[in-house]
Structure formats: structure tokens, C-alpha cells
Structure 1
Amino acid sequence: MTQTLTAQDAFRAAYENRYTWDSNFPGFTADVSFTNGDASHSGQVAIKPDMSFEVTGIEDEAAKKEIEGQLWEITVHRVRRTFEESHGKNSFEFGEKYEDGAQEIKVTGASMGNSYNIKNDTVTFVNRKIRSVIVNINTFETLDTPEGYLSLGYDSVYFDAETKEPKGGSSFFRDSFDKIDGYYVLTKREITAKENDEVVGEKVFAFTNIKF
């Protein structure tokens, strides 16, 4: 008897295909450089086995917060949680099927109104409401590894949740990873901010001398 794949099955496959660090992740230290336009800052970072992190050697508080924000982004996407831990209070249903082969997955339950597009066990689009803002994330390029995929090129666009009008322009991300001591680690992130298709800011975060 042939078993029909449900929307939850399809989304679970994509969720579990993301690259994450395993329970043996030992943490690491690295040198960090942050360039924001003409300003540059250098210091050190540490991500610990429990996914807590710290930034040292940078006195500029605004620059330090920028780097802390990136460390939060890194850890939140690499931490390993089961599907039930992340989505146990949600239900899923199929939405639109697109010409490129992507399948829309609509979310009901605790995260009602959110949606995803999946293709080849990869999440290619995220539509998520965060309080008064809706964020759309389009993934254009991925790195496929034996342990799951990593996003290399993607953008984020924000909208007002009430009016659906664009809010704050868009940001394009370009990530680079190296495999070090068995773990893929972000070594460079370039962020280009645009408003009305014009570049209004460029930031580069580089992580070197990575030691586990």
C-alpha cells in the first residue's frame, strides 16, 4: 500500500536536512574583524558548547552589539533541536505548487500565518510574522554537505504586519563556510543593505584563527 506524504512529512524532511552542530560540539574561539563602511573593528569571539557566546577586545559598544547579533544568528541556526521541540505545537498543510518545483507549506496552530517554500528537502522561502513585522527570507544558493545544507546566498525583506507595506528596505547576505575539525563554521558574512534598489550600507564580518 502506497503511503501519501503529508505536508508535515515534507516539511519535517526539509527541517531535518538543515546543517546543525551535534551534541559533541566543543565550542571554539576566533579572531573577528567587522567592517562597516569606512569603520573597522577587530577583537575576539567565543562560542561555547552550550551555545552561549562572548565578544572581547572591542571597546566600541555599537560594533560589539553588531558582532553579538551575528553570533546569535550563528548559534540559533546551528543549535540542534528536534522537529517536535521546534514545531510540536504547529500543524501543516500544502499550499501552492510553483513552476520551479517549490511547494508552499502553510502553518497553522501556534505559528498560524507563517509559511515556507520547500524544494529538494531545502527551505527556499520563509514568511514569518514577528510581532508587528513580517519578514520574508529568500534563499538563492546553498551548500550541500553530507550532514545537511547551509544557506550561502539569501535576502531578507521586512513588511508592516498591518499594512503589508515594505519596512526598512532589504538586506542581501553572502556567507562562506570552512570545515574545521569536523564542523562547518562561518568564516565570512557580507551584508548589503538596499533601499529602493540603491545600496545604502555594506557590512563584512570575518572570522579567522578558529580554534576548537
Structure 2
Amino acid sequence: MTANLSARDLFRAAYENRYTWDKNFPGYTANVQLRTGDNVYTGKIRINADLSFDVMDVADEEAKKAIHGQVWEIAVHRVRRPFEETHGKNTFEYGETDATGAVEILVGGKAEGDRYKVRNNEVCLVHRHIHGVVVTINTFSTIDTGAGYLSHTYDSVYHDAKTGEPKGGRQEFEDSYEQIDGYWIMTRRLIKTETDSKPTTTEFSFSKIALLQPVAV
């Protein structure tokens, strides 16, 4: 497959195979529950058609901040950005192919030092430099929506870009989705964090999901 494709074309195909919400996405509301240790917090969220969002009715400020961060993650990863807009100033070349058949893509240009792995038209590894931090994400399983893939289980590790020192612990994620009125929407995210101290488990659950009604023009 890769013999007839440039590294740029292979990566671009996988990039464009990600599931995103289309231009008609109306937004939605949902109840949210955050469970961390023995503590449970509840509230409401709203993601708008333009992917701006609000977190409401969460009494605890730290819990509200944590939910806000997750809702931002949900929204930002469903945005469809043209490949050239995101990667137009980058160059791509092939690296190694591992035992699973994942093909390494080495990035030069604006994002020099970043790298990815592509397997079965999906990005299964992301290694990016972001604001002085290097994040490495391995995806282990995905959901085929029929209109692109969603990550199901994956992990992430952060390191200082200059020293290579770990920042925080390794996190394991498990995301669940439901198709609601034609759109795939997250219903649960389970996060297990491994640190030098006691491992922690955090769960975000979303229920009573209702799409917003498009504004009549």
C-alpha cells in the first residue's frame, strides 16, 4: 500500500479518516457526572453549533475546571480542519515499520521533530511538541463509525521537551460513544492515572444527551 503513496499522502488519508462533526452539527446539551475516588460531582454541559461550550451547575470549582477541560477536549477533536491548514507547512517522510505493520511518519518543516504512526488508515501513534512539552499518545483500539474512526482505548505520556523528564504519570483512557440523531457523541470517558504515588481513576459520564434545534434562517 505504501509503495505507491508518498508519506504525505499516507498521513493525509489517515488524518482525513478521523471522525468529525459536519457543518450542520447543531450542538447539544447533556447532564455530566464526574466520579473521582469517593467523590461524585454533577452538573450540565452545552456544546454549541460553533463548538463553543459552557459548563453549568457544578458546585465545586475544581470539579468544574476538570469537566471544562474534558468538554474542551471533546469539542476540539470533533472540529474538521483542512489538512493543508493544519499541516501545510510540514514535510513528511517514511521512518520504520514496526512488527504490527504501523508505518512511522517523520515530520519536518514547521513541526520538525514530531512523528506519527499510521496503521490501517488510522493514526495509531502521535508524538508532538506542544509549548515546551512532548506528548506521546498510543491508540490501541478504535470505533469505526462508517464516517471515520474514533479512538476507543489509548494512553498518553508527557515529557519536558528540553530535559526529557516525565511530567505527571502515564494515563490510560477508555472512551465510549453513542450515535444520537446521526452524530456520534461521547457518553463516558474513564481515565486511569499511574504515578509514583497511588494510582487514581476518574470517570466522566454524560447522560440525557439532546441535540439543539438549529436556528431557523
TM-score by length of 1: 0.95
Aligned equivalents of 2:174, 2:36: Cα separation in 1: 15
The alignment status of 1:31 with 2:31, answered yes or no, reads yes
Query: Counterpart in 2 of 1:188?
Result: 188
Give the gaps of 5 or more residues in structure 2: 212-217
Shift of 1:192: 0.5
SS in 1 for 2:199: strand
**Deviates further, 25-34 or 156-165:** 156-165
Deviation at 1:140, TM superposition (A): 0.5
Inter-partner Cα distance in structure 1 for 2:169 and 2:44: 31
Count of residue pairs brought into register by the alignment:
209
CA distance in 1, matches of 2:149, 2:198: 29
- Please show how residues 8-157 of structure 1 align to structure 2 within 5 Å: 8-157=8-157
The aligned amino acid for 2:10 is A
- 2:206 matched residue in structure 1: 207
Structure 1 unaligned spans of 5+: none
Distance 2:162 2:28 in 1: 42
Q: Give runs of ≥4 in structure 1 deviating > 4 Å.
A: none
Q: Is the 8 A contact 1:134 1:160 kept in 2?
A: yes
Which residue is equivalent to 2:179? 179
Per the alignment, residue 215 of structure 2 pairs with none
Q: C-alpha separation between the residues in 1 aligned to 2:9 and 2:207?
A: 39
Relative to structure 2, which stretch is displaced further, 90-99 or 185-194?
A: 90-99
Greater strand percent: which structure?
1
Q: Deviations over 1:99-120 (max 9, x none)?
A: 2100000111111110000001
> Can you list the C-alpha shifts for 1:10-55, whole angstroms capped at 9, x where unaligned?
0000000000000000000000001111111111100000000001
Deviations 1:123-142 (A, max 9, x none): 00010111221111000010
CA contact (8 A) 1:192 1:199 kept: no
- Partners of 2:198 and 2:113 lie apart in 1 by 31
Scaled by the length of structure 2, what TM-score is found? 0.93
In structure 2, C-alpha distance between the alignment counterparts of 1:167 and 1:29, rounded to whole Å: 34
What amino acid is aligned across from residue 113 of structure 1 in structure 2?
Answer: G
Task: Give the alignment's Cα RMSD to 1 decimal.
Answer: 1.2
